[in-house]
A and B are shown apart, each in its own frame.
Chain A
């Protein structure tokens, strides 16, 4: 068993355990911390696949940005009544049945398809190069072939920022009147 296999299984166990804990914890802050754990595991998977730039983006944007935003909002809206609140919705058993059905269909599709992914002609994972090399490749493709989507993504972010500000700002007149 090579080091790559050991790392993969360790990271996969970390990701799955942390994600299950994320959706089962009663306290939302604990759920957020387990989600951070999951995201770290996914960043490790990116490193394992030679996507160093993506791993960096994952840590900086997801863990540094999105999860901090989540924690801020948790502190803004969360009461102290989680201990007495129900965690799961009323229709949790039908929902679980539906999820298991989706699980079955996806598993059938994936298990039928995975054999064809690993035909011998396909090159194996490239050796992990230096970080600058991977970033250089990503940057070149991003700024030549995907320049228009890149600019559209920046517009999307701008719209999202404005939308978030407009929706979450207080309207004094509305609260007074």
Chain B
């Protein structure tokens, strides 16, 4: 086995991003779609932490904190929209929501 380098982390983060993309494109449940978004954001964070360590700088970690902040805001707003949607249409599947107004 070879020594773990930055490229190992980049490959791991690419694979995690791809799992997130597959999830967001194929699933129907909006909750799972939001979870897939979290997976993709975590892939970005792995990249940022890996480059932050390899460049011996802390800026990547600071940027990761901002990414986590935006993820929290996104989850709160997304779940709020989901609750409003469920209350009005009883729908939690993405392909049931195909009208711009009702």
Contacts and interface: CB of A to CB of B under 8 A. Distances in A.
Contact of B50 (A49, A62, A87, A141): A49
B27 A142 contact: no
A120 to B, nearest CB: 11
B41 to A, nearest CB: 9
A107 B11 CA distance: 8
Contacts, number: 237
A83 interface: no
A102 B21 contact: yes
B49 A65 contact: no
Interface residues of A, number: 88
Nearest to A5: B4
A23 to B, nearest CB: 3
A126 B79 CA distance: 39
Task: Tell me if A's interface is mostly helix, strand, loop or mixed.
Answer: helix
Interface size class of B (residues with CB under 8 A): 35 or more
A91 to B, nearest CB: 8
A77 to B, nearest CB: 4
A61 B25 contact: no
B54 A54 contact: no
Interface string A71-85: 001101111000001
B62 A73 contact: no
Interface string A97-128: 01100110011001001110110001111100
A130 interface: no
Nearest to B57: A141
A69 B54 contact: no
A1 B71 CA distance: 36
Given A54-B49, A117-B54, A77 B83 contact: yes
21 contacts: A12-B12, A16-B16, A19-B19, A22-B35, A23-B26, A23-B27, A28-B29, A39-B42, A61-B68, A62-B42, A62-B68, A62-B71, A66-B38, A77-B83, A102-B18, A106-B14, A123-B54, A146-B62, A153-B66, A153-B69, A164-B77
Interface of B: 1-12, 14-23, 25-29, 31-32, 34-36, 38-39, 42, 45-46, 49-50, 52-56, 58-59, 61-62, 64-66, 68-77, 79-84, 86-87, 92-95
